[in-house]
Amino acid sequence: MVTADDVETATECVVEALRPAVDADWGVPAGSIEWSCRKTAEHIGQANLHWASQLAVGARTQYVRWSAQAQSLAPPAGVLDFIEAAGRILALVVRASPASTRAFHPWGIGDPEGFAGMACVEWLVHGQDLAEGLDCVLEPPADLCHRVLTRLFPHEPRVVDQPWPELLRLTGRTSDGPESWKWRPTPLDEPWDGTPVPEPMPFAPLSAAG
């Protein structure tokens, strides 16, 4: 099971990995994706805050319509504070949400565990993008990666026996990953359409393939 504690663990893991780079240029590309490190970091914060909003009001048909970003003149340390705050806010909301809560995501109606799992993927995978761009080292706990894979990717065949490399593979960060992918926000004991045609999200998805 993926919990609010896991969101906090993923948040802390990435923030601490990136903290040595607060004096670096965050305008450089984040790993293999097209975004800059700053834009990628802001995306993590936006995703976490959007999902906190979804759960807070139980939005069942669309995203709550608002946006957030770090102040334009905020230095990297300020951007890091912004995304850490977003992760901790989501963890608080997940922890306070009854298990029966359901909310919209374009890839399925999610429960608190589903949103916690999606947040962990955002943190860890984009955290790796940032770590590559900023020459940092990210080493997430294997047990966390395993729980996230079990909850969000039960429909994807496993080919790597190590949870962290497998999470990167399934999200398109390796050459042998799937051509396209989706995670499963919907609880495993409820019906789920694995091929939805969603409305556009108010913020960019994890990658063009996902």
Domains of the chain: 4-170 (1.20.120.450)
Supply the pLDDT for residue 209. 38
Spell out the residues 6+ positions from residue 163 whose beta carbon is closer than 8 angstroms to its own: 142, 143, 145, 146, 148, 149
Report CA-CA distances (Å) from 34 to 133, 145, 178, 208: 11, 25, 19, 10
Spatial CA neighbour of 114 closest among 199, 55, 63: 55
**Token pair of 176 as six digits:** 């042998």
Which pLDDT tens digits describe the chain residue by residue (210 residues)? 999 999 999 999 999 999 999 999 999 999 989 999 999 999 999 999 999 999 999 999 888 988 888 999 999 999 999 999 999 999 999 999 999 999 999 899 999 999 999 999 999 999 999 999 999 999 999 999 999 999 999 999 888 889 999 999 999 998 888 888 899 999 999 999 877 665 555 554 444 333
Give the chain's end-to-end CA distance (angstroms, integer): 23
CA–CA separation, 89 vs 83, rounded Å? 10
Spatial CA neighbour of 91 closest among 127, 57, 115: 115
In the chain, the amino acid numbered 200 is P
Supply the pLDDT for residue 177. 80
Supply the pLDDT for residue 195. 76
